[in-house]
Chains A and B, each alone.
Chain A
């Protein structure tokens, strides 16, 4: 990994240590080996299922975390402070996410059960070239807009007089950076932030419909897309809290982070915990009232029949009941270490939730939940990729940690 670490960067108190890269690389290697072994085995479908689930989960964390920065910028929120910069570090996962999506093409036979089904006219929408084409374009737009927003955010943090190479040179503002230029950059940030929010809702809805809901091609819920992007913001906030807690534990107050920041983002996390449960419930209650067999079978299979029923309750407790009851308390939200554990639990819960949504369609008549050691190792591998991406971004742009790079021009 040595070659991937950019040299000659400005010194700062909060750059990730090289050991983080070693840990990330080790975790990634474990996941890659587990995936390759799984794909080469007699049942490659299991490995591809785990791959799809983890692609959706970790991409959503990165997309949701970057959304935080866009939302706080466009609402002119002041409370978020150093969390804004940290959320930008998740954009480092965007290129990986896009590459991982393209790789999914190789496992299309295993992850799209509708490929050999009679789709009763839905073939126009559900066919491999169109699906991969539109989703790839959507992700490209989302990630491109996200990078544009972050490039402008970095212009306000980088020192124009400092010598820079590579990406730093690309985003560095042209000297002199006076207040007029700073205001122009801020207005550009607002434009790109707005576009990112719009693209986030649109593209994540598309991904939700195409890669999750289409697993059962005869089942339709018009709110499923919104459910998918609300969930992405929920776990994005979880990922951001974990990163902020790790940075705070290692660097302390030099990062600009304080317990108040954890308290405030903890409240937002609680709000989106409720929002996620609400988006689940509003779909459920409509299906319950309608009582149409083509709609109810999806819910009955996943929540009332074995082997999925215990998993559904586990997800409900891990992602709603426990965080809701715990986060009512004010003081726990201010404890970074505690919040790290709680957010970790929600992310694992969402990993299981993806399995609950996708698993039954890929494992008809399963006697037990198809969850083995390979699934766990592939999860670890994606975690390693996320660690590498975030650590690399923070090493490349240590200014994202507020303690080492506040905005050069404060004010409106």
Chain B
């Protein structure tokens, strides 16, 4: 059985990258992975990805933060019992600021934790099949084929308007 070759198509336009992903299967090549420096609706549409669960982590973090912010402000005020300018010790109107800030902070924590959990990061596998330009201004489409069809796959990417990089 001939060995498998990995080739990445590098595109400056996410529309062209999306079209290449769409046409790969029909051309008889195996799509492996897509790399994008920004979230792209076009690429996400052709990949038909399921909705991630990161949002639930963010929401949970936000709710916990909201409650924690109020709880912290109330706890601190009750510890001292100082009446300032005749205001109630537990005064909800100014505590909204603490609650809001904690909502944002814990939402971010939840979001980062959710991202790490859902993406199973850190993951050091497959780094040899990555092009740093995909963190810049290129969209990468990684595909594989039998080594005998390497020229065909390179031609496919070039025909789609991209540049082909072969991973040895």
Contact = CB atoms under 8 A, between A and B. Distances in A.
Contacts of A317: none
B59 interface: yes
Main secondary structure of the interface of B (DSSP, over half): helix
Contact of A288 (B41, B55, B59, B94): B94
Interface residues of A, number: 9
Interface in B83-98: 85-87, 93-94, 96-97
Contacts of A260: 41
A328 B93 CA distance: 24
B59 A285 contact: no
A136 interface: no
Contact of A281 (B85, B86, B87, B96): B96
Nearest to A329: B55
Interface string B80-124: 000001110000011011000000000000000000000000000
A285 B96 CA distance: 9
Q: Chain A's interface: helix, strand, loop or mixed, by majority?
A: helix
Given A260-B41, A328-B59, A330-B55, A285 B85 contact: no
Nearest to A330: B55
Contacts of A281: 96
Contacts, number: 17
Interface in A247-290: 260, 281, 284-285, 288-289
Contacts of A328: 59
A291 interface: yes
Interface in B41-100: 41, 51, 55, 59, 85-87, 93-94, 96-97
Nearest to B85: A291
Contacts of A289: 85, 94
Nearest to B96: A281
Nearest to B84: A289
B93 to A, nearest CB: 5
Contacts of A284: 93
Nearest to A288: B93
Contacts of A330: 51, 55
Given A260-B41, A328-B59, A285 B86 contact: no
A285 B87 CA distance: 13
A281 B99 CA distance: 13
Contacts of A288: 93-94
A224 to B, nearest CB: 19
Given A285-B93, A330-B51, 5 more contacts: A260-B41, A285-B94, A285-B96, A285-B97, A288-B93
7 contacts: A281-B96, A285-B93, A285-B96, A288-B94, A289-B85, A289-B94, A330-B51
Interface of A: 260, 281, 284-285, 288-289, 291, 328, 330
